[in-house]
Amino acid sequence: MEAILLVILLGPLVASAIVLLGQNQLSRKVVHSLAIAAVFVSFCLSIYVLYLSIWGGLGVHEEIVYTWGVGGPFTFSIGFLIDRLSALMMCIVTFVSFAVHVYTIGYMDDDSGYKRFFGYIALFTFSMLLLVMANNFMQLFMGWEMVGLVSYLLIGFWYQRDSATFASLKAFVVNRVGDFGFIVGIAGVLFFAGTLNYLDVFAQAPAIANQGLWVTAHQYVSAPTLISILLFVGAMGKSAQIPLHTWLPGSMEGPTPISALIHAATMVTAGIFMVARCSPLFSLSPTAMSFVLIVGATGAFFMGLIGIVQTDIKQVVAYSTISQLGYMTAALGAGAFAGGIFHLMTHATFKALLFLGAGSVIIAMHHEQDMRKMGGLARYMPITYITFLIGGLALSAFPGFAGFFSKDAIIDAVGMSATPGATYAYWCVLLGALVTTIYTFRMIFLTFHGKPRMDEHTKSHLKESPWVVTFPLILLAIPSAVLGGIAVKWLAFGDFFGSSIVNRAGDAPLSLMSEEFHGAWQMFVHGFSTWPFFLFVIGFVLCWVFYIWKPHWPAILQSKLRPAWFALDHKLFWDDLEVGVVMEGSRRLGSALWRWVDDGLIDAVAVNGTARAIGLGSRVIRHIQSGYLYHYAFVMVIGLAVMVGWLIWR
């Protein structure tokens, strides 16, 4: 088993190293063939590992590869923890990565950085596999940071653009803010548990629950609450939760394939995976669970609202990603850990499909991304349109499609949750269903329906994308349509994850819901009589009226609701707050500290002041060294008088 796991993990790394080091000697065909082959082998072996986990009796398999270091009583090792959670994540990561690798052949065909890009995405795949296969928090952090580093390289891939450079730096810095909390949380794990090994830490969870810290004289914080909130701060950065979400829309500056890879199944889902992996700790703290629930539900609704007013097709899908990550996070906070991972899986397929579909449109439009300059593309790009529509229906949770089974399960689970804040969260995720439908079908209608709004030159060259682009779309459209119905029984309402996910807070919402679950078909039929479906119908009709029947109405509505539109167009002022207050405030604080502390206090007083004081003292003292004997005798008499006076005074 160790050999198989090493091949899964190291295959993309070896391919990346060969490509990046030998790109000047290797042809394009060799480069993409090597990278795709490595990822495909990892995907096939991941499927085999998942098979062994479910039917092969593998169970929970821990493998220690080698000891990395020993410090006092602490041992730090590199190894693997393979259970159903990690095996499923391995399959998701490698499948989406494989589709993105194939798609890249067509999308990056005319780019001078073609070979370098393949090296980066193979390295990105290795980093994510290192994260999900880890058996300890140290290795998790290594993969966590490598994902962040490679995402910096990929978002800023077109480094000639100032906007791409700024976006990559912003993503890197914002994630460092979250990672500060994350590493302090890991330090908390080591402090309270004495080890970073997952299984050892989780086995001590009941004992950890009895520990804590006095943060003030009157405020006591339990260890699970402290650790869980700090770890979740890291997840807020990596999984783009409010307020650390602002980096993700900017990451659209990178090439579309990496947008799909970052936003679908890898980097942004790392935080979701981490919280699910640490469920034995999170479920011990109602405070932490409530915090997770409220943050996730808030993002699910309000970030979806921002997506309604976006005009860039990739920006719509980006804000959709933040919203859907909010659904996953809300599920975790509600105690429906399995529901969050289930939605992670279905979301990986249809969101990768939507990003790659958007990339196909961008290719046809000669890299135009403004939906106001599109329209009527369905007749020119039928494969892209049909697959994109499937992705849109899955995203909107239309009954029968993948997103329906996972998203409706989350909405119901949040409604049944006993976690504090569940009522607020339920209304957010329920109304989010309406918002999702509106921004999804607004995007579809503006892009593929109505009259063509592009210039004649672009219109005359419109055609379907090549097979290396459409094949991954078809490959992803299939699970986007059927995966939810196939997996809902086991992943959401069964005991698929076993001991991988633990909810110590009592009966989880999904466990209670499973008593009413009678199969995927019955859930599909019942889906047409639920509130999310009614909201879908309302959203669809509104989009059809505003963008097909009366396309001039949006401008009228915008003028009538100008304050609301202005707030949404400015992204609810989160970016303004970050740039104008946090970034500018930090710059001004740094300037003030430099001017008054570094320059004014340290340099002027401590350094230069010391030198001036010594010089002044030297000029005074040197007058004593006159060379005249009677001066020295006078000083000796004065000194003797002072000593005698002091002795008499005592």
CA–CA distance, 219 with 365 (Å, rounded to integer): 59
* pTM of the shown model: 0.89
Same domain, 553 and 583: no
Q: For residue 320, how many C-alpha atoms fall within 13 Å in the half-sphere facing its CB? A: 37
* pLDDT score recorded for residue 14: 95
Domain that holds residue 634: 574-649
pLDDT, average across residues 124-145: 93
Residue 10 lies in a domain: no
Q: Is the pLDDT reported for residue 4 higher than 90? A: yes
* pLDDT score recorded for residue 354: 92
Same domain, 547 and 629: no
pLDDT, average across residues 635-650: 84
Residue 31 lies in a domain: no
Q: Which residue has the higher pLDDT, 581 or 293?
A: 293
Same domain, 615 and 483: no
Q: Dihedrals φ, ψ of 283, to 5°?
A: -70, -10
Same domain, 536 and 580: no
Residue 194 per-residue DSSP state = S
Q: How many domains does the chain have?
A: 2
Exposure class string for 75-97: b at 16+ Cβ within 10 A, else e:
ebbbbbbbbbbbbbbbbbbbbbb
Q: Is the pLDDT reported for residue 384 higher than 90? A: yes
Give the type of residue at 62.
E
Same domain, 386 and 303: yes
CA–CA distance, 271 with 275 (Å, rounded to integer): 6
3-state percent breakdown (helix, strand, coil) of the chain, nearest 5: 75, 5, 20
Q: For residue 138, how many C-alpha atoms fall within 13 Å in the half-sphere facing its CB? A: 15
The domain boundary residue, chosen from 561, 582, 597: 561
Q: Which of 54-68, 308-322, 615-629 has the lowest mean pLDDT?
A: 615-629
CA–CA distance, 635 with 632 (Å, rounded to integer): 5
> pLDDT digits over 204-232, tens only?
988 998 888 887 778 888 999 999 999 99
The domain boundary residue, chosen from 561, 596, 619: 561
Same domain, 546 and 508: yes
Q: Is the pLDDT reported for residue 423 higher than 90? A: yes
Q: Which of 32-36, 193-197, 264-268, 316-320 has the lowest mean pLDDT?
A: 264-268
Q: Is the pLDDT reported for residue 265 higher than 70? A: no
* pLDDT score recorded for residue 507: 54
> What is the share, in percent, of the chain residues with pLDDT greater than 70?
99
Residue 424 lies in a domain: yes
pLDDT, average across residues 261-274: 81
Residue 106 lies in a domain: no
Q: Is the pLDDT reported for residue 162 higher than 90? A: no
Residue 320 lies in a domain: yes
Residue 600 lies in a domain: yes
Same domain, 387 and 494: yes
Same domain, 355 and 381: yes
The domain boundary residue, chosen from 523, 539, 561: 561
Give the confidence band of 504 by pLDDT, cuts at 50, 70, 90: low
Same domain, 544 and 588: no
SS3 for 195-233 is CCEHHHHHHCHHHHCCCEEECCCCCEEEHHHHHHHHHHH
CA–CA distance, 179 with 174 (Å, rounded to integer): 9
Highest mean pLDDT among 33-42, 465-474, 549-558: 33-42
Residue 188 lies in a domain: no
Residue 270's nearest CA partner among 169, 152, 178 is 178
For the chain, report the end-to-end CA distance as a whole number of angstroms: 86
* pLDDT score recorded for residue 302: 93
> What is the share, in percent, of the chain residues with pLDDT greater than 90?
51
Q: Which residue has the higher pLDDT, 538 or 419?
A: 538
Give the confidence band of 432 by pLDDT, cuts at 50, 70, 90: very high
Q: Which of 67-76, 128-137, 192-201, 305-314 has the lowest mean pLDDT?
A: 67-76
Same domain, 448 and 374: yes
Same domain, 404 and 438: yes
Q: Is the pLDDT reported for residue 60 higher than 60? A: yes
Q: Is the pLDDT reported for residue 567 higher than 60? A: yes
CA–CA distance, 59 with 83 (Å, rounded to integer): 6
Contact 316, 257 (CB under 8 A): no
* Tokens linked to 591: 């300037």
Q: Is the pLDDT reported for residue 367 higher than 90? A: no
Residue 495 lies in a domain: yes
